[in-house]
Amino acid sequence: MLQTITKHEFKALADQGYNRIPLVVETFADLDTPLSLYLKLANRPFSYLLESVQGGERFGRYSIIGLPARTRIVAHDRDIKVLQDDVVIESAADINPLDFVKQYQARFKTPPYQGLPRFTGGLAGYFGYETVRYIEPRLTRNAHAKTDALGVPDILLMVSEELAVVDNLSGKLYFIVYADPATDNAYEAAHQRLQQLLTQLRQPVAIPQAPAMAPSEAVSEFGEANFKAAVDQAKRYIFDGDIMQVVLAQRLSQPFAASPMSLYRALRSLNPSPYMFYYDMGDHHVVGASPEILVRLENDMVTARPIAGTRPRGKTREHDIALAEELLADPKERAEHVQLMDLGRNDVGRVAVTGSVKVTDSMVIERYSHVMHIVSNVEGKLKPGMQAIDVLKATFPAGTVSGAPKVRAMEIIDELEPSKRGIYAGAVGYLGFNGDMDLAIAIRTAVIKDKTLYVQAGAGIVADSVPESEWMETQNKARAVIRAAEIVLAGLDSNAGQLAQGKE
């Protein structure tokens, strides 16, 4: 017998005005991993897997598996649609897509559920970089001026009403299925769905095959000479007093016919990060291991965590420590970080109660597989009447992927970069039914579409930037994703055998 709320309790919640009520069942899943559970339970279009490693070393307590969503919100060039089972059920062209998302999120009234992580259902997906054009009027005139290499939506959010939450500490699994009390037999249908999921859980997982494939080369869309020329032009804007800093990015692409899940497996091993994600969006996949939060809203507390300043990891512990000390002592890196920390304070301050904004971590080193960064943490108490989308508007995009002053920097990005950024430098994550939000910056992120892998990386340009160094910084930042792709194309499950033979 499933231990969920009773039908009487369900009806009582409906009588209180809740229009989405979660039925939750707890079971053991200590013989599975989040990856195997995703393959068993989801692994179809419009599903996702979210994992976390704290400080580059410890797995987060919870992993979240979004089961295939029937409903999704898609926005492109101010045209917004809601699709259910791939059929358009609602559309709008006369409203800012972010305002539409805010209104859509407000339609859901859900009761709190104790003992689960911060996200137990809501809107999950991404806000691409082009979302800036829904926020800043000065950027709208450039909306159609650039080529769109990827052709993905500006915003794609799945309405996530069926989830599996893995408690990595206890080995337990929570199935969450939302029921609409206005629908006939909603309680019984949700109960039956939970039973189906429990049955699915006990089935063997189909192990994906990852055979070796022909290697492929990553090619820069920008090109080294053009990128360095753009750095010089950006420095002229800085010397003229137009801006203090701008982040210039380049896109690399390469043929990639392997499974996107294989790329996620390799990336999570190579580059464990606070935000690891795998989104199956039908005609494209978004696979990433981002170190950087854009913004989090939890219990009315707004958090931003700017990352700026980069060095590659050292070959030995002593070399690593020396590089960290060099990074913290580098005046260019410190100046860049201080500018972006101030920008983060200003962004949070736009939606925070006056006097509540504070820096809780200042210029600390965080280490990841290929690079280390300088990191700070900024927090503030949300103003009354503000909601998640208001926080997104105030903080999007991050200064660490745009520059300062932010709007002028984005105009220069429009001028100097050869095409639209797409998902890169936007935000990936969720807006919960409970009003909370957690969004990572879409960096260290691959987009796979039409058997092509795309990865982008940027460098912060300041007055004393050296074009060669900035080019190398973009290469270092893209390296984790490119290396993961190399491992997959070499045969993901054959490398262990090569290592065992001591092959060099």
Is 133 one of the annotated active-site residues of the chain? Answer: no
| Catalytic residue selected from 174, 424, 430, 454 | 424
Catalytic residue among 20, 72, 265, 444: 444
Active site residue 20: no
Residue 267's φ and ψ, nearest 5 degrees, are -70, -40
CA dist 391 and 376 (Å) reads: 19
Q: Where are the beta strands (DSSP E) in 397-495?
A: 403-404, 427-432, 437-441, 445-449, 452-461
- Burial, 156: exposed, middle or buried (Cβ in 10 Å; 0-12, 13-18, 19+)? buried
- Out of 296, 373, 421, 479, pick the active-site residue: 373
Q: What is the 3-state secondary structure (H, E, C) of 136-172?
A: CHHHHHHCCCCECCCCCCCEEEEEECEEEEEECCCCE
Indicate which residue of 129, 284, 460, 474 is catalytic: 460
Name residue 6's amino acid: T
Are the CB atoms for 309 and 473 separated by under 8 Å?
A: no
DSSP element (H, E) containing 54: strand 53-54
Catalytic pick among 4, 71, 303, 400: 400
Amino acid residing at 405: P
Known catalytic membership, residue 373: yes
Task: Identify which of 458, 474, 427, 460 has the alpha carbon closest to the alpha carbon of residue 129.
Answer: 427
Mark whether 424 is an active-site residue: yes
> In the Cβ-directed half-sphere of 170, how many Cα atoms lie within 13 Å?
12
144 is catalytic: no
Whole-angstrom distance, CA of residue 117 vs CA of residue 197: 20
Q: In whole angstroms, what is the distance from residue 409 CA to residue 227 CA?
A: 16
Structure token digits, residue 41? 């339970």
Catalytic residues: 373, 400, 424, 444, 460
